[in-house]
């Protein structure tokens, strides 16, 4: 049996090997300042810290306006009009920013998915080449074993 090693696929594989990189920081370079701001707000609003800040602010506001001396209360119960107005303003400002941030996060997810797909394709090609080389080595080893057995 003749040696069937074909170095071309392996050399092509090495020559065409390009590292796939899609990092968040590289993608964020192309975002505008407002888009980066939206991402920062989205990440901050989505934390337990922000949740606790809003909870303490709400509880503190309501308790103060329920139990503080009457002359110090600035938003009388049960309406809490100022608190409702402030809460709605916060919501009106945060909701569009969070939506923009989520859209940008979706773009990141698509880029990561595309990078994963490319990596999987490359891995499949590399595995096929490795298997072909291993099969060739197996054939060579079997041929060597047959030659040794004949002697």
Cα(104)–Cα(102) distance, integer angstroms: 5
Collect all residues with Cβ–Cβ distance below 8 Å to 139 and sequence separation of at least 6. Answer: 1, 4
| 130 within domain boundaries | yes
Q: How many domains does the chain have?
A: 1
45's tokens:
């609003």
Name the residue among 58, 50, 62 with its Cα closest to residue 97.
Answer: 50
User: Is residue 1 scored above 60 in pLDDT?
Assistant: no
Name the residue among 48, 5, 30 with its Cα closest to residue 135.
Answer: 5
| 95 within domain boundaries | yes
* Cβ-contact 10, 133 below 8 angstroms: yes
Per-residue confidence band for 81, with pLDDT thresholds at 50, 70 and 90: very high
| 1 within domain boundaries | no
| 107 within domain boundaries | yes
- For residue 138, count other CB atoms closer than 10 A to its CB: 10
The parent domain of residue 106 ranges over 7-150
Q: Report pLDDT digits (tens) over 98-147.
A: 999 999 999 888 888 888 898 899 889 888 888 989 999 999 999 999 99
119's tokens:
């990596």
| 119 within domain boundaries | yes
| 2 within domain boundaries | no
pTM for this predicted structure = 0.63
């Amino acid at each position: 049996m003749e040696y069937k090693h074909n170095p071309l696929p392996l050399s092509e594989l090495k020559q065409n090997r390009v590292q796939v990189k899609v990092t968040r920081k590289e993608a964020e370079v192309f975002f505008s300042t407002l888009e980066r701001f939206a991402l920062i707000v989205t990440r901050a609003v989505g934390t337990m810290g922000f949740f606790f800040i809003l909870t303490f602010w709400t509880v503190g506001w309501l308790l103060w306006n329920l139990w503080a001396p009457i002359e110090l209360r600035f938003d009388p119960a049960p309406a809490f009009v100022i608190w409702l107005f402030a809460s709605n303003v916060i919501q009106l400002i945060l909701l569009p920013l969070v939506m923009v941030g989520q859209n940008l996060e979706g773009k990141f997810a698509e880029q990561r998915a595309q990078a994963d797909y490319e990596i999987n394709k490359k891995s499949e090609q590399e595995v096929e080449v490795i298997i072909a080389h291993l099969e060739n080595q197996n054939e060579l080893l079997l041929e060597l074993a047959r030659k040794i057995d004949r002697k």
